[in-house]
Amino acid sequence: MGHIVLENVVKRFGETEVIPPLNLTIEEGEFAVFVGPSGCGKSTLLRLIAGLEDATDGKIIIDGEDVTEVSPSKRGLAMVFQSYALYPHMTVRKNIAFPMRMAGMPEDEQERRIEAAAKSLNLTDYLDRKPGQLSGGQRQRVAIGRAIVREPSAFLFDEPLSNLDAALRVGMRLEISEMHKRLKTTMIYVTHDQVEAMTMADRIVVLQAGVIEQVGSPLELYHEPQNVFVAGFIGSPKMNLIEGPLADEHGAKTIGIRPEHISIDTAPSPGAWEGTVGVTEHLGSDTFVHIHGVPGCDPMTVRAAGDVAVRHGDKVFLTPNADLIHKFDAAGQRMS
Amino acid sequence: MAIVAQETKFGRYVRPVLAWVIALIFFFPIFWLVLTSFKTDADAVKPEFLFFFTPTLDNYLNMTENYDYWRFASNSVVTSVLATALALFVGIPSAYAMAFNPTKRTKDVLMWMLSTKMLPAAAVLYPMTFLAKGLGIYDTHFIVILVLTLVNLPIVIWMLFTYFKEIPKDIIEAGQMDGVSTWGEIKEILIPLAWGGIASTALLCFIFCWNEAYWTVRLTTTDAATLSALIEGNRAPEGLFFGRLSAVSAAAVGPIVVLGWFCQKQLVQGLTFGAVK
């Protein structure tokens, strides 16, 4: 269960077309992540699947059934919102029980599922508290608990970790990934954070202006970005995109090289790009060196070893790993 | 040096005195009314007895036989309670629809509703009277309840709309995902969350219904007449019986003043809600 197909789905708000005809299939049991900059239509797409927005055109098919006109509650999906969207007037127990109560489930079964969900989410001690008495992370766990107990055919997550602090985000990211491994239920996860996308997804859908730029596994996107947008969006720090004479040498409009695929040296070597060190960011394990003066890309970022000995103003020479240079044509598409 | 607002003499002494003076000016008519209600009719018209007189309870004790007070009071209670209930019954779903499923025209609809309050009531006096008489519902509880509901509905919907707008849409959508029906959303989520707002709206609507005089005077004679109609109706013939009239007036406004006093907090919150976030 949890096979979702979007066929030529279109969404317009008045005259504005936020999603032009779009086709996408999400396989059963898959962890799909929609990623893109804000305003790219990823949340709208998720809300279309949920049924919280009506599709202007096209079909949404879940497990072989056309649900385009079906209300959200009848689609068998569960959603976790960025704002948690807990019912503030109900205790944690009642929040989690709510969807089961609405479905008319017997009380002993409700109780059994609440206990199981609370145990797996470390909420047992908080069942009789109200959401207002919980921390952000606990609230998000309650929201996840409320989704789990329904045993939905797919989980929809709308930027669920954006309101949490950085440390908690990493922890929750792991918890959600583990939950997916355990439940093996289809999950669709919307985020603007490409680190979340890379670490969690089986498959990433990169969106820009309502258009799917590329669909693929995290490593496919990393190694073979299909266009300049995906190249620049996936990877941290961002890929260096170079235009001008250096790109011309490779017969491309734009070439891309990731910061980790450039070696830095203070001694000149043949074919190396010359530049001046700007800001260096020391992370301990790595150092991000920002280099000025390379034609067509200013600044260029290089990921160097943690103990690299360069200082602001030093003259350095950069050698890209020639095998890992990505080439893009004038339309921004990958050249084979 | 840190900049600290200095308390001036004006702020410290003059302002409270001014506030008290203004409050007393506003309160004086009520005070005078209550004071007069303890005077005999003869004392009531003598200015020299303003503060010094022999108090009597006769006006209150004879209220029932003089005016049939309890009949009017029960009419007031029945019509105000039912009109408030009806206004909420219609207003809650309407405000819910506009707050959570707005269309391009929602603002216009709200303005149109409010515009009905700008219409002078006198403009529809004749049609209303003829309709009521023609339909045989003149001087019935039914017409009073209907009219009280209709005149207060715009305010009720506006207030509820403002309260409902404060509820995050995500919570309603979470409800939809969790499988509640529209009625379930209202009953399980909206009403519990907006309970304070609904209570203040109900309270204010009840007060407006209780105080309504224009329509209750004109659409009733005896059977469905409320306390405000009673006072209004006795103004001219009883002009000389200030003591009695004051007693019945005090007994008419008393319940609502007491109610308002106890619910001050709710009312103030209700009236200023949404003004400051």
pLDDT tens, A293-306? 999 988 999 999 99
User: Residue B276: its pLDDT value, please?
Assistant: 38
Residue B39 pLDDT grade (very low, low, confident, very high; cuts 50, 70, 90): confident
CA distance from start to end of chain B: 32
Q: Is B189 on the interface with A (CB under 8 A)?
A: yes
| pLDDT at B271 (0 to 100) | 58
What confidence category does residue B66 fall into, taking pLDDT thresholds of 50, 70 and 90?
Answer: confident
Structure confidence at residue B50 (pLDDT): 73
- Please tell me if residue B171 touches chain A, with a CB cutoff of 8 Å: yes
Interface with chain B: mutation pick from A89, A96, A159, highest number of B CBs within 10 Å: A89
Closest to A78 measured CA to CA, from A109, A108, A42, A102: A102
Read off the pLDDT band of B159 (50, 70, 90).
very high
**A73–B179: do the CB atoms touch at under 8 Å?**
yes
- What does R_g of chain B's alpha carbons equal in angstroms? 23
Mean pLDDT of B57-73: 84
CA distance A10 to A229: 22
Alpha carbons B85 and B153: distance in angstroms, whole number? 11
Alpha-carbon gap, residue A41 to A119, rounded angstroms? 36
**pLDDT > 70? residue B186:** yes
Least confident segment among A102-106, A241-245, B197-201, B236-240 = B236-240
**Higher model confidence: residue B241 or residue A95?**
A95
| C-alpha distance from A166 to closest chain B C-alpha (Å) | 23
Mean pLDDT calculated for residue range B16-28: 92
Contact of A167 with A159, CB cutoff 8 Å: no
Question: Which tens digit of pLDDT belongs to each residue from A63-104?
Answer: 999 999 999 989 999 999 999 999 999 999 999 999 999 999
Q: Which amino acid is at B244?
A: R
Amino acid B240: pLDDT: 66
pLDDT of residue A29: 95
Counted across chains A and B, CB pairs separated by less than 8 A come out at 56
CB of B177 less than 8 A from some CB of A: yes
Nearest CA in chain A to B181: A73
Cis, bond preceding A320 (omega within 30 deg of 0)? no
Which chain B residues contact residue A87 at CB under 8 A?
171, 174-175, 189, 193
Q: Do A73 and B174 touch (CB under 8 A)?
A: no
Question: Which pLDDT does position B270 carry in this prediction?
Answer: 59
What's the pLDDT tens digit per position in A3-25?
A: 999 999 999 998 899 999 999 99
Instruction: Work out the average pLDDT over B54-59.
Output: 85
Chain B residues near residue A89 by CB distance under 8 angstroms: 192-193
- A219: pLDDT strictly greater than 50: yes
Can you name the residues that pair with A327 across neighbouring β-strands? A255
Q: A272-306 burial, b if ≥16 CB within 10 A, otherwise e?
A: bbebebbebeeeeebbbbbbebbebbebbbbbbee
- Choose the weakest-confidence range: A107-111, A152-156, B85-89, B250-254: B250-254
The answer, yes or no, to whether residue A138 has pLDDT greater than 50, is: yes
In this predicted complex, what is the ipTM?
0.86
Share of chain A above pLDDT 90, in %: 87
Instruction: Tell whether the model's pLDDT for residue B7 goes beyond 80.
Output: no
- The DSSP letter of residue B6 is P
Q: Which of B173, B179, B192 lies at the smallest CB-CB distance from A102?
A: B179
Question: What's the rounded mean pLDDT across residues A315-319?
Answer: 94
| Residue among B184, B192, B193 whose CB faces A102 most closely | B184
Residues A83, B192: C-beta atoms closer than 8 Å:
no
Q: Which residues of A touch B184 (CB under 8 A)?
A: 102
Which of B105, B169, B172, B178 has the highest number of chain A CBs within 10 A, making it the mutation to test binding with A?
A: B178
pLDDT for the residue B246: 87
pLDDT at B277: 31
How confident is residue A263, by pLDDT bands cut at 50, 70 and 90? very high
**Chain A closest-CA separation from residue B105 CA (Å):** 14
Whether residue B1 is predicted with pLDDT greater than 60 in this model: the reply is no
**pTM reported for the whole predicted model:** 0.82
Cβ pair B178:A86 closer than 8 A: no
Contacts of B197 in chain A (CB under 8 A): none
Mean pLDDT of all residues in chain A?
Answer: 93
Which residues, numbered 21 to 50 in chain A, qualify as contacts with chain B under a Cβ-Cβ cut-off of 8 Å?
50
Interface contact B174, partner A, CB < 8 A: yes
pLDDT in tens, B243-271: 888 888 888 888 888 888 888 777 676 55
| Range of weakest confidence among A310-324, B101-115, B257-271 | B257-271
